[in-house]
Amino acid sequence: MNSIQITKIMESNPQTNQVFKGCLSCDQLPDYSSIQYPAAFILNLDPQNLEGSHWVAIYAEGKERPINYFDSLTLFNIQKPKDGCIINNFLRHFPYILRNCKPYQSPLAKTCAHHCICFIFFLSQNCTFNEYINMLDRETNPDLFVKKFVDKMIKYFFCSSIYYHRKYLDI
């Protein structure tokens, strides 16, 4: 999934739209002090001059609150950040970081964006980080769960858009 598709999904949902601040490369994060909270970002671990490799999600409720960091493959825990990646610098400004310790995505699956979208959706619904992790732990196939969930979000948005256009725009 690319950044345009991710942004459309996040902005089409009333809950995620309130907190979503952008789908960015890891070197484009804004200064933490300039952000209006709560704030959620979906970030690619590659800087903007590269093609893009893997999506991660950040959900922050405020400057003085813990920051939630979700990486479906836990790559950031095992590999050195690429030059220009400022995620660690950004995370350091918060009192502490809640992050998943184990991967929820199969290494061959292409569901990292789906995982990020679900993570932000559930946290925007007042689900805590630990509640979300516990929910994924109960799933026998987290990749399938997030894929189906995002597919439902897309269908709902698509169907609502058609209804809106037919009802209000005489299409």
Residue with tokens 């026998």: 140
Q: What is the mean pLDDT of residues 62-72?
A: 95
Q: What is the mean pLDDT of residues 14-18?
A: 93
Tens digit of each residue's pLDDT (9 = 90 or more) over 131-146: 999 999 999 999 999 9
Q: What is the mean pLDDT of residues 29-56?
A: 93
Q: How far is it, in rounded angstroms, from Cα 133 to Cα 12?
A: 24
The tokens for 32 are 């933490």
Q: How far is it, in rounded angstroms, from Cα 30 to Cα 21?
A: 10
Domains and CATH numbers, the chain: 3-168 (3.40.395.10)
Q: What does the pLDDT read at residue 79?
A: 56
Q: What is the mean pLDDT of residues 103-107?
A: 97
Q: How far is it, in rounded angstroms, from Cα 1 to Cα 126?
A: 26
Task: Label residue 15 exposed, middle or buried (CB < 10 Å: 0-12, 13-18, 19+).
Answer: middle
